[in-house]
Amino acid sequence: MEKINKFVIAVYVDNKFGVLTRVTSMFTRRGFNIDALTVGETESPEYSRITICLSGDGYAREQLINQLRKLYNVKKVDVLDDDSIKRELMLLKVAYTSQNRADILAATEVYRAKVIDYTTDEMCIEVTGDPTKIDAFIKLMIPFGILEMCRTGIVALERGSKTLFND
């Protein structure tokens, strides 16, 4: 039995109404679960880039890529290497007391996070970085009392001169 792995796919599509719906409905029809999805306009306004993080074996990954390539508005599909640059943004609201405030602020410094809102009993912290860094920060904050949390999902680029359209 093949090992289940996480993988990241970058998909360049026409920047048109309904394209994201067509792409995501293909996942639903095929029974794939999306772990994270981000989408935005590229350096060229006629295209959007969809970055999708999924879990599956090699067969599922290849099947998914083949199905994506068949969609009309999809221009390019690429599985990003493990050494690609991956970043995520998280906003986290945590409760604090006078006894644990210094601990939370110290953790914020260690993780190079920023306090972006502060009241008498809670603070909102912005963390950016590799998804494993975000996960570690969450684990550290759980004992303090996470009130609310929002993550963007992964954005990723290949290292070096490789781009989706010049390989």
Domain boundaries defined on the chain: 5-79, 85-155
pLDDT at 152: 92
Mean per-residue pLDDT, 76-94: 92
pTM score of the predicted model: 0.81
Mean per-residue pLDDT, 40-66: 88
Residue % of the chain over a pLDDT of 70: 94
pLDDT at 166: 57
pLDDT at 83: 86
Position 113 pLDDT exceeds 80 = yes
The architecture CATH gives domain 85-155: 2-Layer Sandwich (3.30)
- Domain 5-79 sits in CATH 3.20.20.20: no
Q: Residue 167: which pLDDT band, with cuts at 50, 70 and 90?
A: low
Write the DSSP assignment of 29-70 as a string of letters: HHT--EEEEEEEE-SSTTEEEEEEEEEE-HHHHHHHHHHHHH
Q: Residue 126: which pLDDT band, with cuts at 50, 70 and 90?
A: very high
Query: Is 85-155 in the same CATH topology as 5-79?
Result: yes
pLDDT at 164: 53
Position 54 pLDDT exceeds 70 = yes
Mean per-residue pLDDT, 152-162: 85
Write the DSSP assignment of 114-146 as a string of letters: EEEEE-SSEEEEEEEE-HHHHHHHHHHHGGG-E
